[in-house]
Structure 1
Amino acid sequence: MKRAFEIFRRDVNRLSHNMVAMIVTIGVCLIPSLYAWFNIAANYDPYANTGNIKIAVANADKGTENELIGELNVGEEIVQNLKKNDSLGWKFTDEKKAVQGVKSGKYYAAIVIPEDFSSSFVSILSGDMKQPQFEYYLNEKKNAIAPKVTGTGASTIQEQVNEEFIAAAAGSVSKILGQTAEQMGTQVDTVQESLIAKMQTAEENLEEYQVVLENLNKTIDGSDDLINGTQETLDALKSAVASGAKSMNNGTDILASVRNSVGALSVGLSDGLTQGADALSGISSAVGTDLGKLNEKVQNVNEKIGNTITSMQDLISKNEEILTVLRELDNQVPGNPLSEIIEKLETENQRHKEILKNLQTGNNSIGNAVNTSVQGLNQIASVIQDGQKNLQTSRASFEKNVLPSLNQSLDSFAQLSGKVSGVLAGVEPSAEQLKNVTGDLKQTLSDTKTAMESTKEALDDVQKKLNTAITDLGALQSSDIYLSLKELTKKDTGEVAEFMHSPVQLETKSFYRVENYGSAMAPFYTNLAIWVGGIVLIAIFKMEVDKDEKIKSFTVTQGYFGRWILYITTGLIQALIICLGDIYLLKIQCKNPAAFVFAGLFASFVYVNLIYALSITFKHIGKALSVILVILQIPGSAGTYPIEMTPAFFQFVHPLLPFTYGINAMREAIAGIYGMHYWKNILCLAVFLPIALGIGLLLRPHLLNLNYLFDRKLAETDLMICEEEGMQREKISLSTAVKILAGQDEFRKSLNDKIEKFQSNYHKKIRRGFLAIVVIPIIFLILMFSIDSKMVFLVLWIASIILIALYLIVVEYIHESLKRKKRLSEMSDEVLLKEVKENTQRGEGEQ
């Protein structure tokens, strides 16, 4: 690198001793910064000057009048609000002048409020809705950005009108809502008191109902004991009847014996009559005793069952009262929460009615059975009494009418005995029937008791829910909803309207806040200026190193780095001036100035390497490639718009462009560094350095003849700039020299054949190339305008031009290469060897 620094010192010495060169160099260092500064300053805060953009406003609104809203003129309110608004240059005129002013370019846009604007607003109240709208006229030719700004102004007016209308409507609705809420509050209090009173009545009925249930259960328990006693009495009655029937049978047997012992009639008959009278007396006594007991028991059962029936009737009546209250409550409470309880109580009440019916039927059956038994026993007693009287009569008149009336008495007694036996035979079935009835009655009372217990559980549940409901209703006045309803009546309609005017407030929390648009655009314009500065360096300073008395020889690499140092140094000065001017002259926001300056210097180092490598390697094509790269990087680096908003092609090339990482690194320094993002972008930018060095050091030696061709051809025009030093280093192929020396005549013949064959088609190939470079791009241009995928055809159009240009360059290079070989073949061996020796020395670095 010693020779490279010698070249650099010589270059600096030449510049420092030439005042004009120094002025130009200073200008080269300053011009890129001016490019950045002017653009940043122009875009520093453009929206602060939107008041200079003229927008015409024409109000033709006639206003309207409505019973609910009153007089309304929305157009006039808009005009008054706009007169207080200086965000845009509002100019108030009539419709004709407004529209004409937009056409002529006097105004950027115009807003015309029609005469039915206000009436359209209130059309919603009549049911015949008509959407209010104003007319917006725009001159899009006047400026690219102005339509966006004026469109924002029109949208602002629309939003303001909507907000004011909502606020007015909300005020009216709030007033009505307050009145309604007050009425609702009064109604709620009245309904609440009514509900609580009804619920308390229902609760009192439930308590009485519970008492009735307890008494009924006690009555049922007592009735059960009575029924058991009655059944025992019936069993005793049956036994007495059986004993009487047996006695009657014995009396019959005695009568038969008396009838057979007529001979001992006087003695036997008297004894038989006495025994018959005693038997009848015993039967009468037993039957009378049992009948008295049965009658007493049955009367007790009837009384208890009657009490049970009365309690059941009271129970059903109370249940009906409770059901009536619950139905009223259920109808007044939304959602019918008591329907399930009402249904359950109705089922229980129906069950009670069926039990009551069974009790009444059983009680009637018992009464009928007892009456039948009593009638039978009364008949028995009457018959026995008649028999006793007859026996006494027979016995008294025995002596008078013994024999004559004996048979008659015996027959009467026999008849009496038959009647008694018949009556006794009827008593036992009646007693059995009565026992069955009491058994059924006992089961009915058991079912009644079970039903009462189920009813008691249901009533307990109802009472709990009623207590809860009463508590909830009592707490209603202290609930949040009720208090909110009461509070609603106190709301100021103006406050409600103001709230509805802007019900949602946006709270913005910015990360990495950028104070102004100029600071946000500074990374893009700074990187662009640095790249432009590199192109300016290539345009001003020569790339090829010349020789003089101090530096007579150097290698290709030494020459490359010798001029490279000059470019890099000047590029770093350019970047330093740009970055320091951004911070301290324009005073852009910058959280980390050191990082910002370093990013600018490193970006310049990378950009100048790329531009220098492309330009020195490909000459004018390389310079063109540098310009193409900057063209791609302006939309493809996301310097202005988010890359997601650009076409797919630019999204694809975005990560392949150095601008992407240079801009991102500066953004980190301006707004704040997050993690390792800054250094990641620096490292990604560094990837382009080996690419640039590979092009300049490895690829360039293989293109010396091509560069020589370009320089010589451009020099022939006497119009286009070329470097003389590049024309002196045509490279001779060693393999060609060896072939010439080994068999000059044979090689010359073969070479002449190739030249002749190539030359015969050379002009055709050139003409075809130039024809293709015109026709093919035109085809792609036509397709680009007729097919939606414009970006694809634009890329293909550019690619086709590059490919055709490369084709022409290759054809011309082959043509020159054949001519060079022919020239070498015509040299003598001594001259050829001398040329080869000089060429070899240049390949080793000598010149």
Structure 2
Amino acid sequence: NEKNNAIAVKITDTGAKGLDKQITAAFKEQVATVAAEKVKDSGTEFETKITRAMNNTSTSFGETAQKIDDSRRKLGDIQAKLDTASQSMGGAKGTVADVEAALTDAQAALNEVSSLVNQAQGGIGDFTDQSTSAFVNGATAVADGTAQAQESIADLTAGLDQAGQRFDYATQQANGAVDASAQSIAELKALLNSATLSPQATKELDDAVQRLEEGNESNRRLLGNLGALSKDTQAAADSVKSSSDAINQAAADTKATSQTLRDTVTSSVPEINRAMSNLSSTASALSATLEAQKGTMREADGLLDGVSQQLLATKDTLGDFDTNLVALQDSLRSIQGDVRSLKATMNNKVLQNVTGLDADEIGQFFAEPIEVESVTVYPVDSYGSAMAALFTNLSLWIGAFVLMVIFKVEVDKEGFRRVTVDQAYLGRFLLMAAMVVIQAVVVTAGDILIGVQTVNAAAFIVTGVLIGLAYLSIIYALSTSLGHLGRGLCVVLAIIQIPGASGLYPIELLPGFFHAIYPLLPFTYGIDAMRETIGGFYGAHYFKYMGVLAFMFLLFFVCGLLLRKALSHFNALFNKELKDTELFDYENVQVMGNGYRIADVIQALDSRSGLKQDLDHRDHDWSYWLKLVAVAGVVGVIILILVSGLLPSQKPLLLGIWTAWCLLIVGAAVTLEYLRISLKQSAELLTLDEDDIKHPARNEDNDLAAVAPAETEGEK
């Protein structure tokens, strides 16, 4: 309720703001604490996941590198097997050459058998035509031919058997190499499928494995052809053996019937001829078969050359693949080291910052984000001690001002034969100075008694006394020089100095108007000097402040003395007007001489008509000018009020302008009134006799004289 009390509203506003701030701080603290807890929990979970992922990744890279190392060892075994297969291919190629030579020898033997059979058939024909003796010779020749044919057939059969065995051995070795290659290729494909590689590296390795598979299939087809060749060779050997058995059977039959040859020549010869014919045809067929086998041997030799080249190409491909695996293994080891380094870095820096969050501390930070650390340079124990400098100076100023109100500033010359202006001014000042000293001692001692902090009690009291004397000099000078107007200026100075001398707030917080007048105010130096004795001395600042106050003391003392003489008639007329109002208190102002202007006195003695003309010339409608000044003052105040409403931020400056304007208006009004009264007083010379005019002129000196009417017996 703003109607009840003005201060209560400010208190409730402050309480509401404080409560709002407290609730907001508590809410922020709670929100920040919960958020920090969530972030901390998320950070811990994330740390666990990323640690697990890094461990799994590092383990996977290590396992992959180990598998690659195992694959390299298997590649070494495959390369060794390929070397063995290459050597086997060389042996097989030699075997093929031996088989081809054996086939050539067998073909030659068959040709010889065929020739012998032909010879035997010719001999049988001759035997048929010739006698028994010739038959016996022919039979013997047949037996010899049969024996030779049997020997050739045996050699051929042995060569074919040996070639077949070599074919079988070479085929077995080649089959083993091809099977080993197929197994290695399968292992490589499984390794590639399990490894995590870049697409480019995977494609290159797949192409190499595909080429190995194609070469291995080609080798397998070649081995199939070699197996067929081995079977054909075995069939040829079996056929030769069958022919050999037939010849042996024929020879046995011939031997068995040799005793009855004579009797059975006619019947046996055809059978022998048929046997010989069969043998000849068999030899011819076998020779053709051997010729075909020789072509197969040449094809086998070419196939073996191709297999050898394919094995060399496979070996080179495996070497390149091994090089790629080495590079891949090095990359995996490097990546594994990077993952471990990343894990260590994450554990030491980023994640620890998250998982190490202090939720309570963060909540407190959000509730009070700024923590001010104050370092006290000159500690003051209480707020009262801090404000004592201002209110002590204000008390000294008001005490000196009250003396101007209680005591008369004008000196009564009764009882004195001769009193000068200087003597009267100094005498009244010394009387008030004694009162000011008593006031200062009472105020400063009272401060100490109620607990105001001081670093030196004696310095505190002495400082108060000196400050009081300086203020007395200022107030006394204004009061004696300007009278009631000077007292009004003292009140205005007291009002301005309370905020303008940094007694309440630092001067840095005040508007520019106070910044401008700050160095000119007596309170500025009195408060600072008093603070030195309360909080502690710093360098020569105390003496600087007291020096400025001493300068002000002397300046205003001298100015007051001079202005007292110059403005005495003004004060006398002003107090006379106050007396005429019968409302205000006034003083019996003591002036020098009779109060008339010297120029007017001389002119009155010289020519009263000239004085009258001069007074008429100087006379004006003073009431009109006073009204004009009053209207100007009111209009100026209204303008300042309107401007202050439009410019609220400039109110301190406008307040200073308002004060100066009011002083200007008051000064103008007082000046006009003084001129009017002075002119009126000069007109009194026209009513005085010449002797009355000469007498005060002759007696005018530096003595004081009362101009205002005496009201008391003492004044009379």
Shorter-chain TM band: 0.5 to 0.7
1:134-176 CA-to-partner distances (Å, cap 9, x unmatched) read xxxxx44444444555667778889999999999x99xx9xxx
Match of 2:221 among 345, 368, 378: 368
Structure 1 residues 162 and 809, CA gap change in structure 2 (3 angstroms): closer
Give TM-score scaled by structure 2 length.
0.64
Residue of structure 2 equivalent to 1:526: 392
Residue of structure 1 equivalent to 2:664: 803
Shift of 1:663: 3.2
Structure 1 residues 529 and 799, CA gap change in structure 2 (3 angstroms): same
Residue of structure 1 equivalent to 2:630: 770
Structure 1 residues 517 and 454, CA gap change in structure 2 (3 angstroms): same
Structure 1 residues 738 and 598, CA gap change in structure 2 (3 angstroms): same
Mapping of residues 782-801 of structure 1, within 5 Å: 788=648, 790-801=651-662
- How many residues end up aligned between the 2 structures? 620
Mapping of residues 574-653 of structure 1, within 5 Å: 574-584=439-449, 586-640=450-504, 649-650=513-514, 653=517
Residue of structure 1 equivalent to 2:418: 552
Shift of 1:575: 0.8
Match of 1:224 among 79, 83, 101: 79
Shift of 1:233: 4.2
Match of 1:431 among 282, 304, 307: 304
Q: Is this contact kept in 1: 2:410–2:590, CA < 8 A? A: yes
Shift of 1:649: 4.6
Rg larger for: 2
Structure 1 residues 601 and 384, CA gap change in structure 2 (3 angstroms): same
Residue of structure 1 equivalent to 2:314: 441
Residue of structure 1 equivalent to 2:266: none
Residue of structure 1 equivalent to 2:712: none
Residue of structure 2 equivalent to 1:566: 431
Q: Could you tell which deviates more after superposition, 537-546 or 218-227? A: 537-546
The 1-side partners of 2:628 and 2:200 are apart by: 107
| Structure 2 counterpart SS, 1:608 | helix
The 2-side partners of 1:766 and 1:206 are apart by: 107
Q: Is this contact kept in 1: 2:103–2:290, CA < 8 A? A: no
Residue of structure 2 equivalent to 1:538: 404
Residue 178 of structure 2 aligns to which amino acid in structure 1? N
Structure 1 residues 665 and 768, CA gap change in structure 2 (3 angstroms): same
Q: Is this contact kept in 1: 2:410–2:589, CA < 8 A? A: yes
Residue of structure 1 equivalent to 2:257: none
The 1-side partners of 2:197 and 2:460 are apart by: 84
Structure 1 residues 728 and 467, CA gap change in structure 2 (3 angstroms): closer
1:90-135 CA-to-partner distances (Å, cap 9, x unmatched) read xxxxxxxxxxxxxxxxxxxxxxxxxxxxxxxxxxxxxxxxxxxxxx
Q: Is this contact kept in 2: 1:579–1:600, CA < 8 A? A: yes
Matched, 1:234 2:89: yes
Residue 77 of structure 2 aligns to which amino acid in structure 1? G
Q: Is this contact kept in 1: 2:62–2:332, CA < 8 A? A: no
| Structure 2 counterpart SS, 1:576 | helix
Structure 1 alignment gaps of length 5 or more:
1-138, 321-342, 472-478, 489-498
Match of 1:301 among 170, 177, 184: 177
Residue of structure 2 equivalent to 1:25: none
Mapping of residues 686-765 of structure 1, within 5 Å: 686=550, 688-693=552-557, 695-697=559-561, 699=563, 701-717=565-581, 720-729=584-593, 755-765=615-625
Mapping of residues 261-276 of structure 1, within 5 Å: none
Match of 1:666 among 530, 544, 548: 530
The 1-side partners of 2:635 and 2:355 are apart by: 84
Residue 807 of structure 1 aligns to which amino acid in structure 2? A
Mapping of residues 131-210 of structure 1, within 5 Å: 139-148=1-10
Residue 298 of structure 1 aligns to which amino acid in structure 2? A
Structure 1 residues 345 and 403, CA gap change in structure 2 (3 angstroms): closer
The 1-side partners of 2:597 and 2:155 are apart by: 171
1:229-264 CA-to-partner distances (Å, cap 9, x unmatched) read 433443565577679599969999xx9xx99xx9xx
1:323-360 CA-to-partner distances (Å, cap 9, x unmatched) read xxxxxxxxxxxxxxxxxxxx569999999888776655
Residue of structure 2 equivalent to 1:337: none
Shift of 1:526: 2.3
Structure 1 residues 223 and 517, CA gap change in structure 2 (3 angstroms): closer
Q: Could you tell which deviates more after superposition, 440-449 or 674-683? A: 674-683
Structure 1 residues 754 and 796, CA gap change in structure 2 (3 angstroms): farther
Residue 665 of structure 2 aligns to which amino acid in structure 1? I
Shift of 1:370: 2.0
Shift of 1:576: 0.8
Structure 1 residues 161 and 247, CA gap change in structure 2 (3 angstroms): closer
The 2-side partners of 1:515 and 1:737 are apart by: 67
Residue 670 of structure 2 aligns to which amino acid in structure 1? I
Structure 1 residues 798 and 159, CA gap change in structure 2 (3 angstroms): closer
Structure 1 residues 346 and 780, CA gap change in structure 2 (3 angstroms): closer
The 2-side partners of 1:143 and 1:515 are apart by: 33
| Structure 2 counterpart SS, 1:727 | strand
Shift of 1:365: 3.5
The 2-side partners of 1:484 and 1:160 are apart by: 24
Structure 1 residues 311 and 151, CA gap change in structure 2 (3 angstroms): same
Structure 1 residues 819 and 313, CA gap change in structure 2 (3 angstroms): same
Residue of structure 2 equivalent to 1:657: 521
The 2-side partners of 1:164 and 1:220 are apart by: 71
Q: Is this contact kept in 2: 1:376–1:426, CA < 8 A? A: no
Give TM-score scaled by structure 1 length.
0.55
Q: Is this contact kept in 1: 2:106–2:156, CA < 8 A? A: no
Shift of 1:304: 3.6
RMSD over equivalenced CA pairs, Å: 6.5
Structure 1 residues 238 and 842, CA gap change in structure 2 (3 angstroms): farther
Residue 174 of structure 2 aligns to which amino acid in structure 1? V
Q: Is this contact kept in 2: 1:219–1:307, CA < 8 A? A: no
1:562-590 CA-to-partner distances (Å, cap 9, x unmatched) read 33322222212211111112222x34444
Shift of 1:710: 2.7
Residue 74 of structure 2 aligns to which amino acid in structure 1? T
Structure 1 residues 536 and 281, CA gap change in structure 2 (3 angstroms): same
Structure 2 alignment gaps of length 5 or more:
123-144, 252-268, 345-351, 705-716
| Structure 1 counterpart SS, 2:408 | coil
Q: Could you tell which deviates more after superposition, 538-547 or 715-724? A: 715-724
- The percentage of counterpart residues that share the same residue type is 25
Structure 1 residues 279 and 757, CA gap change in structure 2 (3 angstroms): farther
Structure 1 residues 611 and 164, CA gap change in structure 2 (3 angstroms): closer
Shift of 1:211: 7.8
Residue of structure 2 equivalent to 1:422: 295
Q: Is this contact kept in 1: 2:507–2:514, CA < 8 A? A: yes
| Structure 1 counterpart SS, 2:590 | helix
Residue of structure 1 equivalent to 2:261: none
Structure 1 residues 427 and 671, CA gap change in structure 2 (3 angstroms): same
Shift of 1:537: 1.6
| Structure 2 counterpart SS, 1:542 | coil
The 1-side partners of 2:167 and 2:455 are apart by: 122
Shift of 1:626: 0.6
The 2-side partners of 1:516 and 1:404 are apart by: 152
Residue of structure 1 equivalent to 2:255: none
1:434-478 CA-to-partner distances (Å, cap 9, x unmatched) read 22432343244335545655676688789999999999xxxxxxx
